[in-house]
């Protein structure tokens, strides 16, 4: 029996994103309801091709993947994602009705970190997702390097570099560094000025929208030949688009 846990309302800006690839609309509704208060955004895909295209164009911290999908299966999608540079370090949880041991073995051989059989207990599911995402954040806080396209960020030292063609210090201010990290963690997502203000300055600090524009303009100048990677979205805010 499906059971949704009771929880309070989420607070703060979205900082982690999950790609859910499943052909069942009910599963999408269930997963989004289960994770709605965790400062997460669950992005829906319903087929192998849609899942691949979304992952290729956006940034995610975790993938939830069904086996049975239109025009292919979850194993095929995982095989297609594995060679991608941006896939490195992204955990994959299979979320499927397939309980055969051979399917589980195949999933783990392909690199899956977890295998959850439907129907599942939502409280346990939520706890497993939370635990994995907390480990990712802890690794970053411990001084891990966040790499995105040509950018490399040392989160412990708050230093950002252009990794290509020669590693070059961008000499960012603390605000510019936070902006670049926010953009890189949300590649391909249009971020509103309000969300940027809340994430960078906090809810209790009163600053104006033009403050965001000023700092983004300064950041762009320091990104040198990659300045156009940070693009304006009319009526919304900004988006990071990498080749």
Evaluate if residue 92 carries a pLDDT over 70.
Answer: yes
- What number of other Cβ atoms are within 10 A of residue 189's Cβ? 19
Local confidence band at 142 (pLDDT 50, 70, 90 cut-offs) = low
Residue 10 confidence (pLDDT): 38
Local confidence band at 212 (pLDDT 50, 70, 90 cut-offs) = confident
Evaluate if residue 56 carries a pLDDT over 60.
Answer: yes
Residue with tokens 């960020």, as numbered in its chain: 153
- Residue 127 to residues 21, 71, 123, 185, Cα–Cα distance (Å): 20, 31, 6, 22
Local confidence band at 7 (pLDDT 50, 70, 90 cut-offs) = very low
Evaluate if residue 230 carries a pLDDT over 60.
Answer: yes
Residue 59 confidence (pLDDT): 80
Residue 90 confidence (pLDDT): 86
Domain regions of the chain by residue span: 16-140, 145-240
Query: Per-residue pLDDT tens for 111-131?
Result: 898 999 999 899 999 999 998
Quick one: average pLDDT of 190-198? 88
Superfamily assignment of 16-140 in CATH?
Response regulator (3.40.50.2300)
Evaluate if residue 148 carries a pLDDT over 90.
Answer: no
Q: Decide: 189 and 17 in contact? Cβ < 8 Å.
A: yes
Residue 38 confidence (pLDDT): 60
- In DSSP notation, 190-216 reads PEEHHHHHHHHH-TTS---HHHHHHHH
Evaluate if residue 209 carries a pLDDT over 70.
Answer: no
Evaluate if residue 144 carries a pLDDT over 90.
Answer: no
Evaluate if residue 179 carries a pLDDT over 60.
Answer: yes
Evaluate if residue 11 carries a pLDDT over 50.
Answer: no
Instruction: Please state which CATH class domain 145-240 belongs to.
Output: mainly alpha
Quick one: average pLDDT of 190-202? 86
Residue 143 confidence (pLDDT): 59
- What's the CA gap between 69 and 20, in Å, rounded? 12
Evaluate if residue 86 carries a pLDDT over 80.
Answer: no
Nearest to 164 by CA among 172, 152, 153: 152
Residue 204 confidence (pLDDT): 57
Q: Global pTM? A: 0.62
């Amino acid at each position: 029996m499906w059971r949704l846990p009771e929880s309070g309302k989420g607070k703060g800006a979205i900082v982690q994103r999950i790609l859910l690839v499943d052909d069942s609309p009910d599963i999408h509704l269930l997963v989004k309801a289960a994770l709605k208060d965790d400062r997460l955004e669950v992005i829906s895909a319903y087929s192998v091709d849609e899942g691949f295209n979304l992952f290729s164009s956006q940034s995610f911290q975790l993938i939830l993947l069904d086996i049975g999908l239109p025009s292919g299966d979850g194993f095929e999608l995982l095989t297609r994602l594995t060679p991608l540079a941006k896939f490195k370090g992204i955990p994959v949880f299979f979320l499927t009705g397939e309980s055969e041991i051979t399917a589980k073995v195949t999933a783990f051989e392909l690199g899956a970190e977890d295998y959850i059989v439907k129907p599942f207990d939502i409280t346990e599911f939520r706890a497993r997702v939370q635990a994995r995402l907390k480990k990712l954040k802890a690794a970053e806080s411990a001084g891990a390097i966040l790499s995105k396209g040509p950018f490399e960020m040392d989160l412990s030292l708050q230093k950002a570099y252009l990794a290509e063609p020669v590693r070059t210090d961008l000499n960012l201010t603390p605000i510019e560094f936070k902006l670049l990290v926010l953009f890189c963690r949300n590649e391909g997502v249009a971020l509103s000025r309000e969300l940027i203000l809340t994430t960078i300055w906090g809810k209790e600090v009163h600053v104006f929208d033009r403050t965001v524009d000023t700092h983004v303009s300064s950041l762009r100048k320091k990104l040198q030949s990659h300045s156009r990677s940070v693009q304006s979205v009319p009526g919304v805010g900004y988006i990071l688009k990498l080749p």
